[in-house]
Every structure is written in structure tokens, then in C-alpha cells.
Chain A
Amino acid sequence: GENVEQHPSTLSVQEGDSAVIKCTYSDSASNYFPWYKQELGKRPQLIIDIRSNVGEKKDQRIAVTLNKTAKHFSLHITETQPEDSAVYFCAARTHFGNEKLTFGTGTRLTIIP
């Protein structure tokens, strides 16, 4: 089955700087890669996603890149703000009949004011 690894497990950046979180996946058939943000004590929220036919997607200060050859994808947050502090999870979904996401173990991002 699919295996998703996520790095780093914790990340601290100064407010205004950029943050990058990286994930690798094992199943070359995976075709969909969402990212979730989970603030302390709250539910996970889908923040951005990317499909395997796209190399990059951007939504305001958040962007995600995908390298299918290397089987890795990354979340980029620019101009970080205190409200970006949360745990971020990447996930991968295998194509054709596998109806579940495999999640990474999460990255705790702390924005230092």
C-alpha cells in the first residue's frame, strides 16, 4: 500500500518568512495530493490540493508543488503570519478503487512574532 512520509515534524519560522513542508509517497499510481491544516484542538481543514497532471498550484500565500518523477510534493507558505501556526498534514490517494487517503504524520508549524 501507499506510504507517505512528511518532513520536518516541527518547524519554526519568523513571521513574514516562508515555510516549506515536504512529503514523499511510495505508490506511483497516486494521483491526488491534498493538504490539511489542523489548529490546536480543532478539526482538520482542507487548504489546498493538487492533481498528478499539474506541477504547481497556488492560492494566495499558499502553493503546492508536485514532482511525479521523484514522488514528492511540497507545501509552501509565504509571508507567514501568526495564524498560520498549526499542524499541517499531507496526504496521497491512489488511483482506481482505493477510496482512502494515506496521511503523513504532520508538521507542527510555529510562527514566531
Chain B
Amino acid sequence: GAGVSQSPSNKVTEKGKDVELRCDPISGHTALYWYRQSLGQGLEFLIYFQGNSAPDKSGLPSDRFSAERTGGSVSTLTIQRTQQEDSAVYLCASSPQGSDRGLPRHFGDGTRLSIL
């Protein structure tokens, strides 16, 4: 079946612009995660959604970052007034209900964000 889908695959934008990154999780998966991977670094947790519970936003690096998950499915990560340090690959992952909480099992291919 279809895996986790992210769009766009690449995004180049000017400093100061807003960007929206989209994630389509695997159908039926209740848990959705956003991670950020900078060049040569590990994965940095950003935000976690589980069903109808309040999301865990503890990893968002600043108030320029926000995320929504509509209808328990698609999620959008928004970065306002982008800065060069926001350049990274943004990875989305999902897990089915009953999975260990906090465990991203299926990753998307990511969105490579480049801020000029």
C-alpha cells in the first residue's frame, strides 16, 4: 500500500518568506511525527500528534514554527519568516494505533528546504 507521502520534495525560498510542508500519513495511522534533519546531523524531534489528543509541541524550535493535523490525517508544518538556519530536510513519520508511543515506524522521503 501507499507509504507516507510528503510534498513538496524540494523547496527553495528566500529568507523571510513563509513555507508550508505537507504530510500524508499511511491511511489509518493515528500517530504522526515531524522531525528535522540538518546536514550531517541526527533527527531532531519537532512535534507529535496522537489521535485527538493535544499535540506534543515541545520540539518546535521557535514560535515561527507551527503544525496542524486536520481530521486526524493530513498534517501541515508551517514555518513563518524563514531563516537560513531553517534549511534542512523535514521528515514526517506515522505509526498505527497500538504502536509504542513515541515510535515513528514509517518515514516519508522528506522535504528538502533551502533558504537563500
Is there contact, CB below 8 Å, between A106 and B102?
Answer: no
Name B residues whose Cβ lies closer than 8 Å to a Cβ of A.
4, 33, 40-45, 48, 50, 56, 58-59, 91, 100-105, 107-110
Smallest Cβ-Cβ distance to A103: which chain B residue? B42
Q: Across the interface, do B104 and A43 meet the contact criterion of CB distance under 8 Å? A: no
Give the contact-size bracket for chain A. 20 to 34
Q: Of A34, A99, A102, which one neighbours B101 at CB under 8 angstroms?
A: A99
Determine which of B33, B42, B103, B107 lies in contact with A43 in the assembled complex, contact meaning CB atoms within 8 Å.
Answer: B107
Task: Give the residue of B43, B102, B108 whose beta carbon is less than 8 angstroms from that of A99.
Answer: B102
- Which of B45, B91, B105 is within 8 Å of A100, CB to CB? B45
Which residues in A have their C-beta under 8 angstroms from that of B44? 103
Distance of A91 Cα from B102 Cα, bound (Å): 11
With a CB–CB cut-off of 8 A, which chain B residues contact A6? 42
| Given A44-B91, A46-B105: A101 in contact with B45 (beta carbons within 8 A) | yes
- Which residues does chain B contribute within 8 Å of A102, judged by CB atoms? 45
Known: A99-B102, A100-B56. A43 touches B110 (CB 8 A): yes
Q: What is the bound-complex CA distance between A106 and B89, given in angstroms? A: 15
